Amino acid sequence: MSNINPVKPSNPKKSFEDALSMTAHRVDDCLANLLTTGEGSTDVSTAERVPDRLLQAMRHAVLGGGKRFRPFLVEQSAALFGVAPERALSAGGAVELIHCYSLAHDDLPAMDNDDLRRGQPTVWRAFDDWTAILAGDGLQALAFECLGAERCHPDAGVRAELTVMLARASGGLGMVGGQALDLEAERLGDGQAQTLDTIRHLQSMKTGALIVFSCEAGAVLGGGSSAERAALRSYGEKLGYAFQIADDLLDVEGDAATVGKAVAKDADAGKATLVSLMGLDAARSALTRTRDEAIAALDVFGGRGDMLRQAADFVVDRRR
Amino acid sequence: MSNINPVKPSNPKKSFEDALSMTAHRVDDCLANLLTTGEGSTDVSTAERVPDRLLQAMRHAVLGGGKRFRPFLVEQSAALFGVAPERALSAGGAVELIHCYSLAHDDLPAMDNDDLRRGQPTVWRAFDDWTAILAGDGLQALAFECLGAERCHPDAGVRAELTVMLARASGGLGMVGGQALDLEAERLGDGQAQTLDTIRHLQSMKTGALIVFSCEAGAVLGGGSSAERAALRSYGEKLGYAFQIADDLLDVEGDAATVGKAVAKDADAGKATLVSLMGLDAARSALTRTRDEAIAALDVFGGRGDMLRQAADFVVDRRR
């Protein structure tokens, strides 16, 4: 894979999965190194340590597996501009830290009240509520430390730009805002009033914004033109939407096979989904259409965009 | 006050309080502008809005008064280098946003379970737990957006450096780590095992780190030398320690006047304080000695450091 335009491999799906797995290893190593006492920084005096219980909770939140799909998007969009994977690692690690902190907080009893994630006890279950809240808070700070530090990119202008982008994607206008809308619909009883537009808007904030950040971050790291950035933003928006349709379909189809009435269950909970509003068949065709639109957004990159095209297929095909 | 070395006013205390109050007005305006729908950014498309309930909770957390002492320290340390107050506003606003998010989270039932703050219902009381968690999360992101944005400082290297500094001061090695140690001592029952050293360490993380950041940030904004930065760090460390002794004394002496046995109450709760470990008289002399050390750290700045010297007096004298 050292050529800029590699010969198409005989089994592109296998090659995609290998690449995704290599990224996951790199990201796991990077995050494990950050989450040691002293947070891996070289300029730390030995007196400075993250308290042990807090550190263990932060590690639990971050190092429990995960496909590291967002860092993969950062890496692959950066690769379009010739940026080596290692140079995309701080930005990829930062977005993954934000993703992991949001899971630790979303799982809390005060929020979604979840016991398990990826087959493991959630952070508050393994520790307690206050530790899970503080671990999430500490992970958010660490994400911004990653972006600001010199190893992220030699040009401080790039680091500052990524900081603003990630802050906006993860804050009240993005991820946190989407989670607030989602809980509002569920808790304050206006879930039944949701339309396809309001759900799309909510999801574009809650999950879409970090995916768009991940795709655009590569162009920022690699000095892409504004047209290239716009193309990657557009790809990211479509990919995020496809991701959400696939997620909703998976819930329904997964449950339908075992329980037989998952759609009714969602409706009883007062929680509209893309699938409940569109219907199964329309959702399935929206999924493939959106995948095709995501892929079309990459036309400007020619053959260089193949890995991101396969990422769109991966989102559509995912089974967990 | 347009001279660089103003003539000493006849009533320095009055002049200090005026300056603190002017900073508070500037910071209040700045934060109120940030916390509007669209977060006050000029590059926001009209479709982007922070969800209303979340925004109201963020405003409640931030705009309910407060002396804005940390932004004042940023402003006054920046003034040592000729930086105008308006140029220190983004960094000051950022540290205040971090301070306010930490209060919203610390007040939660899962943490300190407080109902009132500054005479108003705490964020979770005025809204609910999940809204308070998300409001805090959104405020942390907004703090880093402030530091990364161009209006913070024209040199992106300064913005990136402040980002790393604030992330470290507020994360697991700083504020969040200190709160974790504090709750651990209280919840996990080893409060009785606290020594003066462990309490000082805990407090230097929990409250000291943001104060040190505030003092050093001014030197970073103003291009101070490393000796000047070290002096401001040292001042900030002493100031933070004095702040904590004064806080503990206030609890005891305030309660002693009305209840008569506040020290016993703290001890019953298993929570050691600087005062319970030192004793009242030793704490009082440690307070004035620490104030004097803070003031001595400013010698390098000559007459320019008067406002920060008065800030040290203010910390010692504060009655609420």
- Chain A residues inside the 8 Å CB shell of B170: 141
- Chain A residues inside the 8 Å CB shell of B203: none
Do the chains contact at B172 and A44, CB–CB below 8 Å? no
- Chain A residues inside the 8 Å CB shell of B125: none
Do the chains contact at B172 and A142, CB–CB below 8 Å? yes
Determine contact: A113 vs chain B, CB below 8 A.
no
Determine contact: A111 vs chain B, CB below 8 A.
yes
Please say whether the beta carbons of B142 and B41 come within 8 A: no
Given a cut of 50, is residue B189 above it in pLDDT? yes
When divided into structural domains, chain A yields a total of: 1
Determine contact: B149 vs chain A, CB below 8 A.
yes
Do the chains contact at A157 and B161, CB–CB below 8 Å? no
Do the chains contact at A148 and B164, CB–CB below 8 Å? yes
Determine contact: B266 vs chain A, CB below 8 A.
no
The gap between the terminal CA atoms of chain B, to the nearest Å, is: 28
- Which of A203-207, B14-18, B204-208, B258-262 has the least mean pLDDT? B258-262
Do the chains contact at A176 and B138, CB–CB below 8 Å? yes
pLDDT computed for residue B12 by the predictor:
77
Query: How far apart are the CA of B109 and the nearest CA of chain A, in angstroms?
Result: 9
Given a cut of 90, is residue B168 above it in pLDDT? yes
Determine contact: B55 vs chain A, CB below 8 A.
yes
CA-to-CA separations, B70 to A110, B4, B73, in angstroms, rounded:
31, 22, 5
Any residues with CB less than 8 A from the CB of A62 and at least 6 apart, and which? A31, A35, A96, A97, A100, A139
**The two three-digit tokens of residue B47, written as one number:** 């479709």
Query: How far apart are the CA of A100 and the nearest CA of chain B, in angstroms?
Result: 13
Tell whether A82 is covered by a domain.
Answer: yes
- Which of A187-201, B33-47, B133-147 has the least mean pLDDT? B33-47
3-state helix/strand/coil string of B14-78? HHHHHHHHHHHHHHHHHHHHHCCCCCCCCCCCCCCCCCHHHHHHHHHHHCCCCCCHHHHHHHHHH
Do the chains contact at B144 and A145, CB–CB below 8 Å? no
- Chain B residues inside the 8 Å CB shell of A156: 155-157, 159-160
Determine contact: A114 vs chain B, CB below 8 A.
no
The mean pLDDT of B162-191, rounded to a whole number, is: 92
Given a cut of 50, is residue B45 above it in pLDDT? no
Determine contact: A312 vs chain B, CB below 8 A.
no
Determine contact: A133 vs chain B, CB below 8 A.
yes
Determine contact: B250 vs chain A, CB below 8 A.
no
pLDDT computed for residue B9 by the predictor:
52
Write the ipTM. Answer: 0.92
Tell whether B1 is covered by a domain.
Answer: no
Record the pTM. 0.92
Do the chains contact at B48 and A160, CB–CB below 8 Å? no
pLDDT computed for residue A186 by the predictor:
86
pLDDT computed for residue B40 by the predictor:
46
Given a cut of 70, is residue B190 above it in pLDDT? no
Tell whether B17 is covered by a domain.
Answer: yes
The mean pLDDT of B7-23, rounded to a whole number, is: 82
Angle at Cα B262 formed by Cα B256 and Cα B266, nearest 5°? Answer: 160
The partner residue sitting opposite B55, judged by closest CB among A39, A161, A172, is: A172
- Residues B258-303 pLDDT 10s: 433 334 445 556 678 899 999 999 999 999 999 999 999 999 999 9
Given a cut of 70, is residue B43 above it in pLDDT? no
The partner residue sitting opposite B53, judged by closest CB among A50, A108, A180, is: A180
pLDDT computed for residue A253 by the predictor:
81
Quote the domain boundaries for residue A218.
12-317
Tell whether A80 is covered by a domain.
Answer: yes
Tell whether B21 is covered by a domain.
Answer: yes
- Alpha carbon distance A78, A220 (integer Å): 8
The partner residue sitting opposite B134, judged by closest CB among A53, A149, A179, is: A179
The mean pLDDT of B59-84, rounded to a whole number, is: 96
Tell whether B3 is covered by a domain.
Answer: no
- Alpha carbon distance B238, B220 (integer Å): 19
The partner residue sitting opposite B173, judged by closest CB among A39, A147, A183, is: A39
Do the chains contact at B172 and A147, CB–CB below 8 Å? no
Query: How far apart are the CA of A170 and the nearest CA of chain B, in angstroms?
Result: 7
Q: Which of A289, A160, A174, A301 is nearest to A230 (CA)?
A: A301
The phi-psi region of residue B67 (left if phi > 0; otherwise alpha if psi is between -120 and 50; otherwise beta) is alpha
**Residue ranges, chain A, pLDDT below 70:** 1-10, 37-47, 190-192, 255-270, 319-320
Amino acid letter, A301: F
Do the chains contact at A138 and B110, CB–CB below 8 Å? no
Contacts with B, A 179-238, CB within 8 Å: 179-181, 183-184, 187
CA dihedral over A3, A7, A13, A15, signed as positive or negative: negative
- Which residue on chain B is closest to A204 by alpha carbon? B48
The mean pLDDT of B68-91, rounded to a whole number, is: 98
Determine contact: B134 vs chain A, CB below 8 A.
yes
The partner residue sitting opposite B133, judged by closest CB among A105, A145, A159, is: A105
- Output the average pLDDT for chain B: 89
The partner residue sitting opposite B111, judged by closest CB among A44, A58, A133, is: A133
Candidates A133, A152, A166, partner chain B, best to mutate (most B CBs within 10 A): A133
Candidates B44, B131, B140, B158, partner chain A, best to mutate (most A CBs within 10 A): B140
Tell whether A139 is covered by a domain.
Answer: yes
Cβ contacts below 8 Å, chain A against chain B, sum to: 189
Tell whether A2 is covered by a domain.
Answer: no
Any residues with CB less than 8 A from the CB of B298 and at least 6 apart, and which? B231, B235, B305, B308, B309
- Which residue on chain A is closest to B128 by alpha carbon? A110
Determine contact: B67 vs chain A, CB below 8 A.
no
- Which residue on chain A is closest to B112 by alpha carbon? A130
The CATH number assigned to the domain holding A283 equals 1.10.600.10
CA-to-CA separations, B21 to A57, A266, B17, B135, in angstroms, rounded:
41, 53, 6, 26
- Chain A residues inside the 8 Å CB shell of B141: 140, 167-168, 170-172, 176
- Which residue on chain B is closest to A167 by alpha carbon? B141
Given a cut of 50, is residue B108 above it in pLDDT? yes
CA-to-CA separations, A27 to A33, A94, A163, A212, B252, in angstroms, rounded:
10, 10, 19, 19, 49
